[in-house]
């Protein structure tokens, strides 16, 4: 008998922490489409119950209590649960150490207790801080400029120790700027700090204008350049990562398109895609904003066999726009 399309020969069972949030919900949806069994563990601190994809079991709970929710029937954990607002982490760093580092300590202990030995972790470009060269490779120095980035780097170090000492097979994926939407799942952080959803709020008439922080950077149009990766491309990398590391190995991979787009290019593309004028307001540079942040994804290509297939900025923005418009009619 042949295996139905999309159903892997060897379906597995995964725990997705933070699967009610933006990235976790898209990855959970991809796992289900690939025929796996998914349980989402999320405390809904920044996520949404309706974001959990149909077909996934849902536990409303904290990663700090993962030992109660995990059991040896799980084949692995995909770990998205974290706080991730850079600005908030500067004014309230303890919140980030307690949740991101403390929570992951408990999760790793639970995995050890139940013999669950595969982990994929959401790390971030913020672990690098100010880049020393471009594109950024995994061999570049890590010098985070915020407690958020520092907390994620600390978790990367914890995972390395766990792999060496206790045989965990682990992959940390260092995302650059995640954007776009997939099906019912899209970006709705509160407060929103990411450029594309903010510009779309202007197009929707929810904001008067978009602030452009600095137009005198050493870039072609003077505005900051960032690497935008479609959330569905990112999700595919997670599925590949589940089998990429050997027991005892901690693999770290950057995930980006290797292509930078400036703030001005994003705003101009939003105007074209939405047909709305998007007024800009010139604002001074923000401290700690590097001129250019672009990933080298060579390791992801080599070790995961991953290639982005949705790198076109207009396509990424069109998907995000479709989601933002749908949200606008469904939110009261």
Ligand X SMILES: NC(=O)c1ccc[n+]([C@@H]2O[C@H](COP(=O)([O-])OP(=O)(O)OC[C@H]3O[C@@H](n4cnc5c(N)ncnc54)[C@H](O)[C@@H]3O)[C@@H](O)[C@H]2O)c1
Binding site for ligand X (CB under 6 A): 17-18, 20-24, 41-47, 62-64, 80-82, 84, 99, 103, 122, 124, 175, 177-178, 189
Q: Would you call 148 a catalytic residue per the annotation?
A: yes
Cβ proximity to ligand X: between 41 and 245 the closer is 41
Closest CA to 144 of 122, 125, 128: 128
The answer to whether 178 and 246 have CB atoms below 8 angstroms apart is: no
CB of 196 to ligand X, least distance (A): 10
Q: Where are the alpha helices (DSSP H) in the chain?
A: 22-33, 66-69, 86-91, 93-96, 103-114, 147-166, 195-203, 231-241, 263-274, 298-299, 313-330
Compute the least distance from the CB of residue 152 to ligand X, in Å.
6
Catalytic-labelled residue, pool 128, 148, 175, 217: 148
Minimal distance, residue 82 CB to ligand X, in Å: 3
Indicate the residue among 3 and 92 with the shorter CB distance to ligand X: 92
Cβ-in-10-Å burial (0-12, 13-18, 19+) of 44 comes to middle
Q: What's the residue count for the chain?
A: 332
How near is the Cβ of 193 to ligand X at its closest, in Å? 9
Phi, psi of 143, deg, nearest 5: -145, 75
User: Which residue in the block uniquely carries the two structure tokens 């409303």?
Assistant: 60
Q: Which is nearer to ligand X, 21 or 53 (CB)?
A: 21
Q: Which is nearer to ligand X, 52 or 244 (CB)?
A: 52
Q: What is the 3-state secondary structure (H, E, C) of 231-288?
A: HHHHHHHHHHHCCCCCCCCEEEEEECCCCCEEHHHHHHHHHHHHCCCCCEEEECCCCC
In the complex, the smallest distance separating the C-beta of residue 306 from ligand X, rounded to whole angstroms, is: 16
Report the alpha-carbon distance of residue 263 to residue 248 in Å, rounded.
Answer: 41
Would you give the DSSP letter of residue 49? G
CB 18 within 8 A of CB 24: yes
Structure token digits, residue 239: 């599925």
Minimal distance in Å, beta carbon 258 to ligand X?
Answer: 16
Closest to 240 measured CA to CA, from 8, 66, 51, 18:
8
Q: Which is nearer to ligand X, 276 or 292 (CB)?
A: 292
Q: Which positions are annotated as active-site residues?
A: 148
């Amino acid at each position: 008998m042949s295996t139905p399309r999309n159903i892997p020969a060897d379906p597995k069972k995964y725990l997705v922490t933070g699967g009610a949030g933006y990235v976790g919900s898209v990855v959970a949806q991809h796992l289900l489409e690939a025929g796996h069994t998914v349980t989402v563990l999320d405390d809904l601190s920044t996520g949404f119950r309706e974001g959990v994809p149909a077909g996934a079991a849902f536990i409303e709970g904290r990663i700090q209590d993962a030992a109660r929710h995990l059991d040896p029937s799980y084949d692995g954990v995909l770990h998205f649960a974290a706080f991730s607002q850079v600005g908030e982490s500067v004014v309230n760093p303890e919140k980030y150490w307690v949740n991101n580092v403390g929570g992951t300590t408990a999760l790793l202990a639970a995995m050890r207790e139940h013999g669950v030995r595969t982990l994929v972790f959401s790390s971030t470009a913020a672990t690098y801080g100010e880049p020393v060269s471009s594109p950024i490779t995994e061999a570049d120095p890590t010098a985070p400029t915020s407690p958020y980035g520092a907390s994620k780097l600390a978790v990367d170090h914890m995972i390395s120790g766990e792999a060496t000492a206790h045989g965990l097979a682990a992959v940390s994926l260092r995302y650059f700027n995640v954007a776009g939407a997939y099906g019912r799942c899209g970006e709705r952080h509160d407060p929103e700090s990411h450029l594309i959803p903010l510009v779309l709020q202007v197009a929707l008439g929810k904001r008067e204008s978009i602030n452009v922080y600095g137009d005198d950077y050493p870039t072609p149009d003077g505005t900051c350049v960032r690497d935008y990766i479609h959330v569905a491309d990112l999700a595919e990398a997670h599925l590949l990562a589940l089998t990429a590391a050997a027991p005892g190995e901690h693999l770290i991979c950057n995930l980006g398109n290797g292509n930078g787009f400036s703030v001005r290019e994003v705003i101009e593309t939003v105007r074209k895609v939405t047909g709305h004028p998007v007024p800009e307001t010139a604002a001074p540079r923000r401290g700690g904003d590097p001129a250019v942040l672009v990933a080298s994804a060579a390791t992801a290509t080599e070790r995961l066999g991953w290639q982005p297939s949705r790198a076109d900025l207009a396509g990424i923005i069109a998907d995000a726009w479709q989601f933002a418009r749908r949200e606008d009619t469904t939110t009261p």
